[in-house]
Structure 1
Amino acid sequence: MVSPALRADVLPIERGDGMGRHVDDRAFKPVDRQRYRSKMQRGLDALARMLAEGNFSFPHQQMGLEMELCLVDQAMEPSMTNAEVLEKIDEPAFTTELGQQNIELNVEPRVLAGDSALELEERMTTALRQADSSARDVGAKIVMIGTLPTLRSAHFDPGWLSRNPRYSLLNEQIFLARGEEMLLHMEGVPLGEAYHVERLRSYADSILPESACTSVQLHLQVAPEDFAAHWNAAQCLAGVQVAIGANSPFLLGKALWHETRIPLFLQATDTRPEELKNQGVRPRVWFGERWITSIFDLFEENVRYFPALLPDPEDEDPVAALDAGRAPTLAELRLHNGTIWRWNRPVYDLVDGVPHLRIENRVLPSGPSVVDIVANAAFFYGAQRALTEQDRPLWTQMSFAAAEENLFAGARSGFDAQLYWPGLGWLAPDELVMRKLLPMAHDGLRACGVSDRARERYLGVIEQRCLARRNGATWQRETVARLEERGADRPKALADMLERYIAFADDGEPVHTWPVG
């Protein structure tokens, strides 16, 4: 059994974006969309009042974590058994995800201070070991990885959607909006000097390519008046987070970006045909387009720019709820927010009827090991805190477009990227971390009250990763190249690499220590 401290029923993280609630499997009518738009506007009015009146809970800064996982069989092929695996695990902290080869672990929120990160590592390790033991009972194995390298086009058939009506309804609505098949296309980065550029061009008739985007989502509860600074700081950090944490170099047999998950997620949920892209219509996987001054800016953009995919309104009038002295659920705003995949998403949520605000950082892939995941979280929280406390905010010195360019550069090239940073110009991610961001992360974690033991352990992992210039993506790419040099074809190399990857991840050591060969 999983420790109660890993249960998600204290603050169900998935519920915060609205996608956790039941959505009726039905056809939507024009009047549904009109009513839903009106209800979202009422929600915006209520949210504006709540922000002005200070109606939010913020007893202390808390972090939370969601981790999406893959299931494979003995041959390292995707195992479409999540229903059976979850029945065996029998813990509410583990839930379904989009594809039948996916499950998700929701970790309860906890304070940042003290030894909490060390406890998190221990409890995640225990939970995953116990869950993996249950998965083995149905012939499956749990993998923490950004994109499963042994996925094939056949695994994107709509029949492999998880058995939950909201997934099939979301799939239907995205394809109705798009009006044509999904095109996956990207140009890769060669594995080495002896390799050519590999290109992917593949069509899909479901949103299941999104199930190949297995991520870690970091949540941070913040006070309303501090939200804008924390969100802006998170946007500044997105590129370097991805560059040093990349773990998704292969898709459908091709060596593509170091973090292929970034362009894949954008393409897999794109409701725009080519004509709307050419007009500049915004994608639903979105970095944004400006620095903000309030969380209200983000919810207002959601309503202004994006049609509702699931226009299923609730009965509650949010303004009337406020007038009656109750915090509104803002059900429509939250469900709509769950269908707009910002890399740093705003979250409004209620616990025991008391509202709070969170930032959900979505840029990181799953894996490679639990200690790597906690190290990535510690680096993000520490650097983010330090950036919010600077006398002159970084986002007043940096264009929003530069922050977005950093994200795609880091995703494409990992440690080989060139990132822009005010005062330093263009430099490699490891140099940026070592010269600037690692000292800031130490200061930020101290300010959060994190113990010296936890701070030194996890930021030490980040430091050694940068010195070795090895993350999950570089290890996977180097290992596959070595196996192919020895005569393996690509499918065999990917399967053998994945088998080694799982063994090293199970040992619990950080990826920069994993041998290649």
Structure 2
Amino acid sequence: MGRDLPQRDFTDEDRERFGARLRASLGLLDGLLTSPGFGTGEPTLGAELEMFLVTRDGVPVPRNEEVRRVAADPRLVLEVNRYNLEANLTPVPLRPRPFTALHEEAEALLETVRRAGVPFGAEPYCAGLLPTLRPGDLTRRNMSPRGRYAVIDDALGRAGRGLRVSGEQRLRMRSDTFCAQGAASSWQVHLTVRPEEFTRVHNAAQLMIAPVLAVAANSPLLLGRRAWDESRIPWYEQAFGQHRRRVAAADRRSGFGHGWLRGGVRELVEEAVRRYTPLVPLCSDGDWDRPLRPGGPPALDELRLHLGTLWWWNRPVYDPAGDGHLRIELRALPSGPTPADMVANTALLTGLVLDRAAREPGGELPFALARENFYTAARDGMAARLWWPAGKAAPIRLAARDLVRALL
């Protein structure tokens, strides 16, 4: 969903054609998943670093377009609100030193933003939530001037959304725009996965994210209230306006999911196509199902655009670059506070996920408990007590800090 859109209004014909291409993409994806060479390249690790632009006193500075222009770095892109900015780090091989490379690039990018922000009194700030935000900062007037955000805002509807987070203190707010999502920033880890390993890696990510999130949480303050240890999680989900009672949990466009994966990436993509109405039915020009180059995979622009409007915490991605590959976006970790923190969290999460995926599990946790773990970790942080599989015995409950030590 990183590209901008050339149009804002869509017809019924646009929607019908887009839906037809989505359904046809499922068949093309089936062929890709079994074709020689697809997804067999060297595994890589990448990341997106979201940040806020603030004054030295922490006041948001709505000048992302100007800062990006001065920085003149194509890795920087505008995020939802004018005080949000995103840096796309270069994917690196999983061997030999991926974390050193990510750390060095993140530090360099933050320095680039810092220098570019000087004329505007802005500097980068990394955290899951900006604690100095006020409700007035989360309105449509602060939306970045990009068509895709206006289209999504229109598509999600402008009916009043009740946003509430209850922790040590209770926060309630009404909003008529998804610009409330601009309060949140994340450090999103991109892990390439071979098609035949996708089920195991995805399930491992769903299991392992809870203990890592518990120790990585850094966002307890939300609009002046102390809520969850990682208040970004419930706030982000609700900011899309999909958590009203009339929207079933399984139909919400943001969330943790509702079952262990059994049928590989095809299962997730089919669910995305069959269950969710397209928000942005923009059809690509030309032969949409043809390879980008002779012998290469098709672009499947419609499918990629549609998947980009589902904000699952562990999201599948199809990428036609090169010979094509799959990856999982691990989207639950907060931004900040420093590159060292973010890279350490990445090393812990990817290590646990790949280790779990590489061996036969001794027992599987009921998915309802894995989902409970995720939200418990976000709410209670290091104090969380998490369910964990115990082989053939019933799941046991452990303190998050003890569980992480045991997993190392």
Q: TM-score of the superposition, structure 1-length normalised?
A: 0.75
What residue identity is the alignment partner of 1:376?
N
Q: Structure 2 residue aligned with 1:183, among 159, 162, 168? A: 162
Whether the aligned pair in 2 keeps the contact of 1:238 and 1:403 (CA below 8 Å) is no
Deviations 1:13-69 (A, max 9, x none): xxxxxx123323332222222221111001011001111234514221110011100
| 1:346 alignment counterpart | 316
Q: CA deviation digits over 1:223-267, x for unaligned, max 9? A: 111111111100001211211100111111110111111111110
Q: Distance in 2 between matches of 1:272 and 1:38?
A: 28
Cross-structure match for 1:83: 65
Residue pair 2:76, 2:88 contacting (<8 A) in 1 also? yes
Match of 2:114 in 1: 132
**Unaligned stretches of 5+ in structure 2?**
none
In structure 2, what is the equivalent of residue 225 of structure 1? Answer: 196
Equivalent position of 1:237 in the other structure: 208
Deviations 1:251-310 (A, max 9, x none): 111101111111111100134643234xx5521002112222311111000011110000
Determine which of 186, 192, 215 is the counterpart of 2:186.
215
Residues 36, 313 of structure 1: 8 Å contact kept: yes
- Please state if 1:361 is matched with 2:330: yes
Which residue does 1:411 correspond to in 2? 378
Confirm or deny that 1:422 pairs with 2:392.
no
SS at match of 1:420: strand
Cα shift at 1:320: 5.5
Helix, strand or coil: the match of 2:130? coil
The corresponding residue for 1:123 is 105
Cα distance, 1:114 vs. partner? 2.1
Whole-angstrom distance in 1 between the partners of 2:243 and 2:107: 40
Alignment partner of 1:29 is 2:11:
yes
- 2: CA distance, partners of 1:385 / 1:123: 23
Return the structure number with greater helix share.
Answer: 1
* Bigger shift: residues 207-216 or 121-130: 121-130
Q: Once the 2 structures are TM-superposed, how far is the Cα of residue 325 of structure 1 from its aligned partner?
A: 4.6
- Equivalent position amino acid for 1:181 in 2: G
Q: State the distance in 2 between where 1:368 and 1:44 align.
A: 40
Taking the aligned partners of 2:194 and 2:247, their CA distance within structure 1 comes to 37
Deviation at 1:149, TM superposition (A): 0.4
CA distance in 2, matches of 1:39, 1:125: 41
SS state at 1:108 partner: coil
> Which of the two has higher C-alpha Rg?
1
Query: Which residue is 1:304 aligned to?
Result: 274
Structure 1 residue 313: Cα displacement: 1.4
SS in 2 for 1:168: helix
Alignment of 1:34-183 (within 5 A): 34-175=16-157, 180-183=159-162
Distance 1:379 1:320 in 2: 40
| 1:66-99, Cα deviation, whole Å (9 max, x unpaired) | 1100011133211111111111211111111111
| Contact in 2 for aligned 1:71/1:102 (Cα 8 Å) | yes
Aligned partner letter, 2:41: P
Q: Match of 2:247, as an amino acid?
A: L
Where does 1:250-289 land on structure 2 (aligned, <5 Å)? 250-271=221-242, 273-277=244-248, 280=249, 282-289=251-258
* 8 Å Cα contact 1:65-1:109 kept in structure 2: yes
Distance 1:95 1:321 in 2: 27
Q: CA RMSD in A?
A: 1.9
Q: Distance in 2 between matches of 1:382 and 1:215?
A: 19
Q: Secondary structure at the match of 1:217?
A: strand
Paired residue secondary structure (2:320): strand
**Residue by residue, what CA displacement relative to the aligned partner does 1:191-240 show, whole Å, maximum 9, x if unpaired?**
xxxxxxx1111011211111111000001112111111111100001211
> Hey, which bits of structure 1, 4+ residues long, moved more than 4 A?
316-322
Partner-residue secondary structure (3-state), 1:334: helix
Determine the C-alpha separation between the residues in 1 that align with 2:275 and 2:26.
14
Deviates more, 1:121-130 or 1:416-425: 121-130
Structure 1: distance between partners of 2:278 and 2:135: 29
Q: Label 1:386 to 1:70 Cα distance change in 2 as closer, same or farther (>3 A).
A: same
Counterpart residue identity of residue 378, structure 2: A
Q: Is the 8 A contact 1:270 1:285 kept in 2?
A: no
Q: Is the 8 A contact 1:284 1:339 kept in 2?
A: yes
What's the counterpart of residue 370 of structure 1? 339
| 8 Å contact from structure 1 (residues 348, 357) kept in 2 | yes
Instruction: Measure how far apart 1:317 and its partner are.
Output: 5.1
Task: Give percent identity, aligned residues only.
Answer: 36
Q: How many residues in Structure 1 have an aligned counterpart in Structure 2? A: 403
Paired with 2:264 and 2:247, the residues of 1 have a C-alpha distance of 29
Q: Distance in 2 between matches of 1:165 and 1:320?
A: 27
1:41 & 1:72 partners in 2: Cα distance? 44
Give yes or no for the alignment of 1:402 onto 2:369. yes
- Distance across 2 between alignment mates of 1:114 and 1:31: 50
Supply the distance in 2 between the matched residues of 1:118 and 1:71 (Cα, whole angstroms): 25
Q: CA deviation at 1:358?
A: 0.6
Separation in structure 2 between the aligned mates of residue 285 and residue 411 of structure 1, nearest angstrom = 15
What is the alpha-carbon distance in structure 2 between the residues aligned to residue 213 and residue 205 of structure 1? 17
Report the residue type matching 2:314 in the other structure. N
- CA distance in 1 between counterparts of 2:107 and 2:384 reads 32
Q: 2:349 aligns to what?
A: 380
Q: Partners in 2 of 1:355 and 1:129 — Cα distance?
A: 33
- For residue 283 of structure 2, give the secondary structure of its aligned residue in structure 1: coil
Q: Is the 8 A contact 2:192 2:327 kept in 1?
A: yes
